[in-house]
Chain A
């Protein structure tokens, strides 16, 4: 018999796990949905804007690299935080005299190193393979990268606040938060591709302005300074909120006793 009890046992073990956990079911639904939405909007962009096809490689590649830089910055921050939980070193840190501000600053710089280690080789590979260089964006890329980095750190701080407050159970949010931003952040297509109601939400994130600026440089060789100002202002707001959230989570964790048993 093919389906003996041992096969059934292991099968049941995983079915019980799925049945007993709503977050797991949501996680299973989440990824395909995000992928389909993202690629749906990309297809729409190229189908209604034929001239963009001439710059297709440049647009997609520059967006992919810039998005990856954002992704690495944010995930690196979360990973560094999760490392301390996974290695059960978390309590050691909090019984040392380190200040919360010092934790934030050191993780911010360590994230930059991790992000650069990940992204620089990708940038170098693009040029010989696809005859496109990110340097084609000129010096204007520097403020864009800085804005992406600050937004990545803000997201990292928000997710780490959740980890601090709710423990490793919050880990899945760390992974999924950035993928949600890919479709609504207008990374691969302009804002006008989105339905009106979604455009309103997108404008609440700095990504729209950053990626619109990058596309402007590639398509029309123009640099939208106003977009950069919007992105910077929104970023300052997000950074302030995320730092405050981190402090609030720290004090809540102290009240709840999470700092002594996190990861157990």
Chain B
């Protein structure tokens, strides 16, 4: 199905969304607009509503109140069409371990209706420098290798929006740095909107165009990393985070 081309350059509109589990508010009256070709960092302590927000954008969680539009369409109603142009990566999910890297990518290539998947897979593996892993079982890979395979899965459909939930968790600094640089270049090259949730402030500072600070299910500040540092009169985001969370 044809997705509305948005008149403005926003790709995601979160309209006064609340998510409530029994008596607990995971997200409260959230309104947010995310624009094309931007990299957003979602920051906040555990339980602040980052994952719930991502889950709702992906159509995995239904909002209790409010609506979310992606590419101008409601995610609840146009899930299939919207997800065709999105993807997701998280250290809390995995790929089938008994399948090889290539088999996994073929499965996901088919799930996303990717054309010429046999050409796409070697191209992706080369970009991520993991050609040698093609015939290896995912279960045999190190966490650094697995992370890059997960990234290949997340890029299999050339997503226009990519959501990343702590993509560098459990990675050594060298591989984490590779991933961050790769994502930055990828976003520039492919005009992809990235939504990045992390606890690593230096990565957020390096990667993101805009930072969204969340606490108790609400946005408490939104702006460029420098703008946020200036506002809170701190030298780095780590100090901003501590100041905000302890205030």
Residues of A within 8 A of B (CB): 83-84, 87-99, 251, 254-257, 259-261, 264
- In the complex, B66 has a CB within 8 A of chain A: no
Contacts of B92 in A (CB 8 A): 88, 91, 261, 264
- In the complex, B55 has a CB within 8 A of chain A: yes
B203 to chain A, nearest CB (A): 22
Q: Are A87 and B88 in contact (CB under 8 A)?
A: no
Q: Which residue of chain A is the closest to B96 with respect to CB atoms?
A: A87
Q: How many B residues, CB 8 Å from partner?
A: 32
A94 to B111, CA, bound (A): 10
Stretch at the interface among B79-87, B127-135, B183-191: B79-87
Contacts of A95 in B (CB 8 A): 58-60, 83, 86-88
Contacts of A83 in B (CB 8 A): 96
User: What would 17 A/B residue contacts be, using CB atoms closer than 8 Å?
Assistant: A87-B95, A87-B96, A87-B98, A88-B93, A89-B93, A89-B95, A90-B93, A91-B92, A92-B94, A92-B153, A95-B87, A96-B108, A254-B59, A254-B61, A257-B21, A257-B61, A260-B55
Q: Are A88 and B83 in contact (CB under 8 A)?
A: no
A94 to B56, CA, bound (A): 12
Q: Are B60 and A92 in contact (CB under 8 A)?
A: no
Which of B51, B81, B86, B108 is the one whose CB lies under 8 Å from A260? B51
Q: Are A87 and B94 in contact (CB under 8 A)?
A: yes
A251 to B93, CA, bound (A): 21
Q: Which residue of chain A is the closest to B62 with respect to CB atoms?
A: A254
- In the complex, B25 has a CB within 8 A of chain A: no
| Apart from A91-B93, A256-B21: 13 A-B pairs, beta carbons within 8 A | A88-B92, A88-B93, A91-B88, A91-B90, A95-B60, A96-B108, A97-B80, A98-B111, A254-B61, A257-B52, A257-B55, A259-B60, A264-B92
Knowing A96-B83, A257-B55, A260-B55 are in contact, say whether A91-B60 is a contact too (CB < 8 A).
yes
Interface of A is mostly: helix
A87 to chain B, nearest CB (A): 5
- In the complex, B97 has a CB within 8 A of chain A: yes
Question: Which 9 pairs across A and B sit closest by C-beta, in order of nearness?
Answer: A88-B94, A97-B83, A96-B111, A259-B60, A91-B93, A260-B55, A95-B88, A87-B96, A254-B62
Query: What 1/0 flags go to B15-56 for Cβ under 8 Å of A?
Result: 000010100001000000000000000000000000110010
Q: Which of B62, B86, B90 has the most CB of A within 10 A?
A: B62
Q: Are A87 and B97 in contact (CB under 8 A)?
A: yes
A261 to B111, CA, bound (A): 21
Q: Which residue of chain A is the closest to B81 with respect to CB atoms?
A: A97
A261 to B51, CA, bound (A): 10
Contacts of A88 in B (CB 8 A): 92-94
Contacts of B86 in A (CB 8 A): 95
Contacts of A255 in B (CB 8 A): 61-62
Contacts of B111 in A (CB 8 A): 93, 96-98
A99 to B59, CA, bound (A): 12
A153 to chain B, nearest CB (A): 22
A254 to B52, CA, bound (A): 11
B126 to chain A, nearest CB (A): 23
B212 to chain A, nearest CB (A): 19
A99 to B51, CA, bound (A): 23
Contacts of B113 in A (CB 8 A): 97
Q: Which of B60, B81, B96 has the most CB of A within 10 A?
A: B60
A257 to B51, CA, bound (A): 10
A255 to B63, CA, bound (A): 7
Q: Which of B91-111 contact A (CB under 8 A)?
A: 92-98, 108, 111
Q: Which residue of chain B is the closest to A98 with respect to CB atoms?
A: B111
Contacts of B51 in A (CB 8 A): 260
